[in-house]
Every structure is written in structure tokens, then in C-alpha cells.
Structure 1
Amino acid sequence: MTDIDLGTAYTWDDARSRGATRGQIAQDGRRIGRGLYLSSAVEPDLATRCRAWRLVLPGDAAFGLGTAARLYGAPVAEPAAVHVVVPSRRQLPRRAGLAVHERLVTEDDVVGDGGLPLTSGSQTFLDLAALLPPAELVAVGDALVRSGHLDAGSLARRLERADRVRGVVRARECAPRLDGRAASRPESLVRYWLVTSDLPDPQVQLPVHDRWGRVVAHADLGYAEWKVAVEYEGRQHADADQFGRDVDRYSLMAADGWLVVRFAARHLGSPVVVVERTRRALGSRGWRP
């Protein structure tokens, strides 16, 4: 706008009350909800859209579920609608682009992050437990722990008062499996498949020592007793420098008797393949069920 600065986000009523014409709003604004606009000068990313939605939401509303998880950096797809949690019995008008969920939440279940009210890491984990399969829930939980938005104590306290809440059984089953040392969603998925199989539980970020006791590498997952390492190779491993470091790392591990089982994106849809190849590797090193 050239004559009236409406800011990054505004409502139709506010813009009109400040003297903006219908044509000016149509030219400047990007409609994201009924009567709610973002300036075309800003990128409509999730955080920016959430800040805009705050203009029309009650003060006790918080962004939750997949929206909160995404803003926390957890590995979930960005939801088509912005998800909002409100206290039970509060009624909000239906708006396109907004999904409203009623919850029995306390002050501990809502936190401020980047200027936005979000459901806490433990509340977000509990809410997503009703929607995600266990392996994906563990991957989200690992990411929340890794980023500092979730810890075992706060999660235990939230789940303790969540009787009869939809998803609480799955949340309680998955909670002990969370580990913030997992560096990515694929690593979390591979670990989940292994720990829920009949194989021994792998160690996470296992240090690999050379004959002099020096740490020469860390395996994503591994079994020190049988010298078997399990690695996930993401796209970053195709980088020339990273590829060279990987060659050095795998050579040093092989020189000291380690067997490395490597997986890639093509294996993420085949948990049976991951488990059975790991089983064969362990069996070749003397492990027996």
C-alpha cells in the first residue's frame, strides 16, 4: 500500500476502519481466511500465517498438533489447515483454513515460542499420538527431545493425568523409546523397527574405538558386543566432502573388525528388510536368539 501502512497482517474490518479502500485491500492483501489478510510483501510461511491468525483468535487459543510440531522443527508434513487448541466448551466460528480442537489443558500445556502460543512438547506429543503410527510418533518425539521442547519428566507428568484421552495408550507405549540422540527421522524409524523386533536393542550414537582406544567414529546405531554398526545414508552423504569422510570412517571401522550395515531412503518403506539384514549381520558375528 502506498498511502496506508496496514502492516504484515490485518483484518478486513481493521483495514477499512483505517481508511483502506476495497481496491487497496485487493491489491495488497493475500486472503488466508474469512476477513483475514497477509500483505503480499511477506512470505506466507507457517509462522507468519499463525501470527496473522492470532488477530482473530481468542487469547486462550494455542497452536497445536501438526502445526505446533512443525513450528518446533519436528518431522511432520505441514498441515493444510492451521491447527488450534482451545479450552473445552469454548466455541469458535468455523473458518476455512483453520482446524479447531477442544482440549482440557492447563497452563503447563501451553508455552510461548517465537512469540506464538504453542501447545507444549508433551501436549503436542499426546495429541499426535492419536493420529500417527508408533514409528512416526517416536520420530516426532525424538525430534522434540533433541530440540529441547520435550523431556522425560514433563512427558511423564502429562501422560499421568491423561487417562481416557484419545491416543494416551500409544503415547505411553512410545514414551520410553524416545531418544534425542537420534539425528533424523530415518534414524528414529530404523531404531524403532529394531527395538520392537526380537533383536537386541541397539545402542544409539555408539562410539567406535581403534586398537589404541581412540574414538574414530560414531555409528548411528550399533552393537558393540558383535561389532555390528547400522547406518542410515541420507542425501547429505552424496556431498563430495562428506563422501570422503564416510570412506575414511568406514575404512577405519572395517580395519578394526566392524561390519557396517547401511540403509537409504529406499528402505524406509521396508521395516522387514531393515530387521532381517540386521539379523543376518548379527548372526554372522555370533549372535543367537
Structure 2
Amino acid sequence: MDTSSAAAPAVRVSVVDDVGLDGSYTWAGARAAGLSRRQVERDGRRLGHGLYLSCAAEPSLRELCRAWAQVLPTGAVFGGSTAAVLLGAPLAQPSRLTVVVPSGVVVPARPQLVRHERCMADEDVTEVDGVRVTSGAQTFLDLAASLPPAELVAVGDALYRRDRLDPDRLAERLARAGRVRGVVRARACAPLLCREAMSRPESLVRFWLVDSDLPDPEPQVAVVDRWDRVVVHGDLGYRDWKIALEYEGRQHAEPEQFRRDVDRYSLTALDGWLVLRFADHHLTGPRTVVERTRRALVSRGWRPPPN
């Protein structure tokens, strides 16, 4: 069959720029701006009743939140895992947006939203790229009710690293938290947070070691040569026993990174350092990480303290 004259697929062209609308809009707003029913149906991806995202807009979490903010009541902010991702935490994008509203404010039930009611102080709210979200400290406290401790520490580390959280702000929020759900876990994990952790895997490994009976590892431990020059930094390590722990993510398979790794491991070995390398399949639980680190420490002379 000759298909040379077959019709090409229709290309959806955004019309919002021509009428001054943003990438998301309400049905009423689009009609008031002069768009016809057919134009709205062709351009907009329906998010909810009367709410649309233009085909020209990227359906990112930020854009989805900006869209929904148009139909939420005054005082509503995004919280929970939605806020955490926008603040830079290493969590998967949630399938539903978490919305926090002041006590007594009514939000119609929407299957796309998870609604929480709470009174918040001004310092419990911040803004990310034009989207109002719960602050880093409030978000950390909220997630403490659902995340296991290791993952909560990974979130806290990321918020520290991105200057969305610091010890003073967190201590102040936890001091006035009362007996809210998750506060015990939040207070237990707060002292373990570390700005130097560069990734979620590093945070998980560090938490498992700190939570064990082994010595606490040093983040970003400096490996020096015989002239006392820093040649590399290990993700984690034990300076006294010359043991470094490294997490090997996918980026280590890149040719340039692989070459740098070869040099790094050679330099550490030349000065007597033992390097333990871990990958994604070691992150299912603490057992392998803790036991291999224990064996390495014992091989270098460490002994557990007597009971």
C-alpha cells in the first residue's frame, strides 16, 4: 500500500502565549482570555476539574504545583514528600500532591491531592521557584512520621547540603513540636545529620555504621600521601585504621570517571589504605555493609570494647 500521501500526525501547538496565559490555566481563565472550547481541548492536558496544563509546558512537579496553586485556597502550601522533592530531597516524585491547609479551611476532595490540616507559623513556610512549600525543618518533621530512620537521615542530609535546613532551624522547630506524630524519630535523627554527605547512598551507609556497634565513620575522609598532601577524599572512612568506604554509582562507569578512579585507588593503596567499595545492590539493608566494615576494622587492629 502506498503511504506516501498518508496524513501526518497532528502536531499540538500551544496557543497560550498568544493570549497571555501561563503554562497552566483554569477553564474560566482560558475562556475569559478568549480561547474557544476547541482550543482549550486541543491545547490543555486536564489535571482536574476545570484545571489544565498546556501541551507546551513540561509536566514537572514544579509545574504541577504551580497549576494546582491556582485553585487552592489562600494559605495552602505543598508539604510532605511533595515539598521534600521540591526542596531537593532524594525521593521519588509522588503520584499525588500533598497539600497542607490551615485548620478549618475546606479543600474539595480531589483524587490528585492528599490533604492535611495544620496550623503553621510563618517560619514553617518557604518558597521554591514561586511555589509555597513547608520549610525544610517542617518537612523533615512531617516525613519523620512515615520514613524509616535511614531514609529520614538521607533527606535531612540533602536539605542540609542545599541550605534548606540547618541545626538551629531544626532545633527550634522540634522544640515546639509537642507530641506530634513522628517527633520522637525526628529528634533521634536530628543529631545524625551531616552536610558533608554527597548522596543518598552515602547517607544510608553512614547511618547504618553509626547505628551499629562500630566506630562512627568520618565523612569525606582525607587521604594524604607521605608528604602530608591530600590526594583524595573517601566518601566515608576511618583515619586511625586507614580504611575508606566508597559508593560506586553509575557515573563511575563513565570512561573519564573510571580513569580517575583507577588513579584514586592506586594512590590510596600506595599509602596503605584499604578501600571498601559498595554498589546499589548493597543498599537493600545494613548487614553486608556493617559486616564487611567490621572485618576490615578487625584486620587493621580494631577491637570492640569489652561489655
- Please list, as runs of the form range in 1=range in 2, the aligned pairs for 1:16-165 lying within 5 A after superposition: 16-165=31-180
Name the SS for the 1:143 alignment partner: helix
TM-superposed deviation, 1:4: 4.5
Whether 1:167 aligns to 2:182 is: yes
Q: Establish whether residue 217 from structure 1 lines up as the match of residue 232 from structure 2.
A: yes
Deviation of 1:18 (Å): 3.5
Q: What is the match of residue 199 of structure 2?
A: 184
The aligned residue for residue 8 of structure 2 is none
Letter in 1 for 2:190: A
The residue number in structure 2 matching 1:239 is 254
Distance 2:187 2:262 in 1: 40
TM-score, normalised with respect to structure 1: 0.97
Mapped to 2, the partners of 1:234 and 1:22 lie a distance apart of: 49
Q: Match of 1:287?
A: 302
Cα offset for 1:59?
Answer: 2.4
Q: Which amino acid aligns with 2:30?
A: A
Question: Aligned-pair RMSD on alpha carbons?
Answer: 1.3
- Give distance in 1, aligned partners of 2:65 and 2:117: 18
Per-residue Cα deviation, 1:92-121 (whole angstroms, up to 9, x for no partner): 111231211112210000012211111100
1:225 counterpart SS class: helix
Amino acid at match of 1:58: P
Residue 142 of structure 2 aligns with an amino acid whose one-letter code is: D
Which ranges in structure 1 are unaligned for 5 or more consecutive residues? none
For 2:12, the equivalent position in structure 1 comes to none
TM-score, normalised with respect to structure 2: 0.91
> For 2:216, what is the secondary structure of its paired residue?
coil
Residue 268 of structure 2, aligned match among 236, 249, 253 = 253
* Aligned-pair CA distance for 1:5: 4.8
Q: Hey, what's the Cα distance between the residues in 1 that align with 2:205 and 2:118? A: 33
CA distance in 2, matches of 1:6, 1:214: 58
TM superposition shift of 1:136: 0.4
User: Quick one: which amino acid aligns to residue 45 of structure 1?
Assistant: S
Cα deviations across residues 12-44 of structure 1 (Å, max 9, x unaligned)? 122233343322211111111111001111111
Moved more, 119-128 or 56-65: 56-65
For the pair shown, the structure with the greater C-alpha radius of gyration is 2
Percent identity for Structure 1 against Structure 2: 63
Tell me if structure 2 keeps the 8 A contact 1:34–1:96: no
